[in-house]
């Protein structure tokens, strides 16, 4: 770490607990709307572990994922796919000879993942709106 990076980090350290608490509340607000939707699964936080609540990631039907991404974007909701099966990226396929089927769990996650908006300034009204739009899209794709 150089001096500039350290100078940027130090003020953030003072806010780390406060920001973690805020992210925890945002996570729970999303869960209020997402939990119980049969078309959605999500990573579970295991007992005796601690999440940083860095992203809010859901898993959907792989055959509908790209359409869901498109429809969310069309509704002004910025979403991403943060987790792809890296062994299927060009570099890893060409350098190491990996192919589809080598890591089926990673492929399953990579093909089903959507990261919903999740940042410290997100508010509960935004989460409600995002969740309602997502539910509407899922219903239309049934």
Q: Is 11 within the bounds of a domain?
A: no
**11 in Cβ contact with 19 (< 8 Å):** no
Whole-number pLDDT of residue 112: 96
Whole-number pLDDT of residue 1: 82
Q: Is 68 within the bounds of a domain?
A: yes
Residue 62: both structure tokens together: 């792989």
User: CATH code at 76?
Assistant: 3.90.1150.10
Write the burial class of residue 128 (CB in 10 Å: 0-12 exposed, 13-18 middle, 19+ buried): middle
Here the contacts of 12-19 (C-beta below 8 Å, separation 24 or greater) are: 19/120
Q: Is 12 within the bounds of a domain?
A: no
Q: Is 85 within the bounds of a domain?
A: yes
Q: Is 127 within the bounds of a domain?
A: yes
Q: Is 115 within the bounds of a domain?
A: yes
| pLDDT tens over the chain, length 142 residues | 899 998 998 988 999 999 999 999 999 999 999 998 999 999 999 999 999 999 999 999 999 999 999 999 999 999 999 889 999 999 999 999 999 999 999 999 999 999 999 999 999 999 999 999 999 999 999 8
> How far is residue 89's CA from residue 95's CA, in Å, rounded to a whole number?
10
Whole-number pLDDT of residue 142: 87
Domain ranges, residue 89: 55-142
Looking at the 3D structure of the chain, how many domains does it have? 1
> Tokens 């996650």 map to which residue?
109
Q: Is 94 within the bounds of a domain?
A: yes
Q: Is 14 within the bounds of a domain?
A: no
Here the contacts of 44-47 (C-beta below 8 Å, separation 24 or greater) are: none
């Amino acid at each position: 770490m150089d001096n500039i990076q350290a100078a940027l980090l130090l003020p953030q350290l003072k806010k780390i607990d406060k920001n973690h608490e805020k992210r925890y509340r945002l996570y729970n607000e999303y869960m209020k709307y997402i939990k119980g939707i049969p078309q959605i699964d999500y990573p579970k936080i295991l007992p005796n572990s601690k999440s940083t609540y860095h992203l809010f990631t859901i898993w959907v039907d792989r055959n509908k994922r790209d359409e869901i991404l498109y429809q969310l974007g069309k509704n002004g909701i910025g979403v991403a796919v943060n987790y792809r099966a890296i062994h299927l990226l060009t570099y890893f396929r060409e350098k190491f000879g990996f192919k589809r089927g080598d890591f089926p769990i990673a492929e399953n996650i990579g093909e089903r993942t959507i990261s919903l908006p999740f940042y410290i300034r997100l508010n509960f009204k935004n989460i409600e709106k995002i969740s309602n739009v997502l539910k509407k899209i899922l219903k239309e794709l049934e």
